[in-house]
């Protein structure tokens, strides 16, 4: 089955080089309007977007997000945050504490479950923005490394306790020249990603079949990272054992501690 929406999804690829053209106010408005129509838990919109316009902030994020210079050059930079602060500020404005006292209800502040549902909202909104951008001819790239350096991002973006950066998306016009075009990345076969009714763990021989299309497309000469022997070792060495992963875990722990504020 094919239609225009499926074609947009099929053709999208992460883009890290942008044309030297601004995102127009109309394009920005179209992406924002689509984003705000994202499904959201309880229709509470438990997310907040920080649009980074300041060039010095972009440049700083290019460093703090694992040294990725394309962030500083991106025409539009949105940080998608999980946000319960807006609701808790609103609860205070609505005298919810008084209502709780009168009715004998315990007043609690956000904890882990609230963080996860707000994180879901933020990510759903981010993906809507990506597809909306693509549908009007713009390109984008996620930056997961916004999860690092929590304390510095709190300062840089002025984040209160119940606003946590979940992901960043950079947008721009794709470059005109073909050599700037992103490569279409292969994926695992659907049979490795979807199980019926219960999770299906895989055997060693099945993993060879899983890795094959990626190895064929990306590592034609089988030169894996750091002289590793196969795709599993390559990914572990490049991702799991990398300093940025350790920093991400430290940073996320600090963010969860602040979010939960001792209410764990
Ligand atoms: C949660 C998430 C975090 C990502 N973080 C980064 C990143 O920090 N830097 C980057 O260049 N690409 C990042 N990407 C893009 C992925 O590398 C990309 O989606 C993947 O390689 C597949 O390529 P494709 O999007 O072109 O199909 C991220 C994607 C997601 C979904």
Do residues 69 and 18 make contact, with C-beta atoms less than 8 angstroms apart? no
Measured distance CA(43)–CA(121) in Å, rounded: 10
In the chain the domains, ranked by start, together with CATH numbers, are 4-184 (3.40.109.10)
Instruction: Please give the Cα distance from 132 to 129 (Å, whole number).
Output: 5
pLDDT score, position 216: 87
Q: For 211-221, what is each residue's pLDDT tens digit? A: 999 998 888 77
User: Which pLDDT belongs to residue 263?
Assistant: 65
Q: Which ranges of the chain have pLDDT less than 50?
A: none
Q: Which pLDDT value is given to residue 227?
A: 85
Does residue 153's CB lie within 6 angstroms of at least one atom of ligand 1?
no
Per-residue pLDDT, 93: 98
Summarised one tens digit per residue, pLDDT across range 164-208 is: 999 999 999 999 875 656 778 899 999 999 999 999 999 999 999
Dist. CA 142 → ligand 1 center (Å): 5
Pocket test for ligand 1, best of 10, 62, 77, 143 (most atoms within 8 A of CB): 143
The residue whose CA is least distant from atom 3 of ligand 1 is 144
Ligand 1: centre distance to CA 63 (Å): 17
**Partners of 142 in the β-ladder:** 169
Structure tokens at 37: 């129509």
Q: b/e string for 12-37 if b means 16 or more Cβ within 10 A?
A: beebbbbbeeebeeebbebbeebbee
Cβ–ligand 1 distance for 186 under 6 Å, the answer no
139 lines ligand 1 (CB under 6 A): no
Percentage helix, strand, coil, to 5, in the chain? 55, 10, 35
The Cα–Cα gap between 38 and 125 comes to 5
């Amino acid at each position: 089955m094919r239609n225009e929406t499926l074609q947009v999804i099929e053709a999208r690829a992460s883009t890290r080089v942008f044309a030297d053209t601004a995102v127009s106010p109309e394009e920005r408005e179209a992406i924002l309007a689509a984003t705000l129509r994202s499904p959201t838990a309880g229709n509470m919109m438990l997310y907040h977007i920080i649009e980074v316009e300041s060039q010095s902030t972009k440049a700083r994020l290019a460093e703090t997000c694992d040294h990725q210079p394309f962030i500083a050059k991106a025409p539009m930079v949105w940080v998608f945050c999980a946000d319960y602060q807006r609701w808790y500020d609103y609860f205070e404005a609505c005298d919810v504490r008084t209502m709780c006292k009168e009715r004998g209800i315990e007043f609690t502040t956000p904890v882990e479950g609230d963080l996860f549902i707000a994180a879901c909202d933020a990510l759903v909104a981010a993906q809507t923005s990506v597809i909306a951008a693509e549908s009007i001819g713009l390109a984008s790239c996620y930056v997961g490394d916004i999860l690092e350096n929590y304390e510095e991002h709190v300062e840089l973006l002025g984040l209160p306790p119940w606003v946590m950066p979940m992901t960043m998306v950079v947008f721009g016009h794709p470059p005109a020249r073909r050599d700037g075009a992103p490569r279409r990345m292969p994926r695992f076969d659907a049979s490795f990603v979807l199980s019926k009714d219960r999770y299906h763990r895989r055997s060693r021989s099945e993993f060879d079949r899983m890795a094959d299309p990626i190895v064929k497309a990306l590592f034609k000469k089988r030169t894996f990272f750091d002289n590793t022997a196969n795709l599993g070792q390559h990914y572990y060495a490049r991702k799991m054992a990398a300093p940025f992963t350790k920093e991400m875990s430290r940073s996320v722990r600090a963010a969860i501690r602040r979010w939960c504020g001792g209410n764990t």
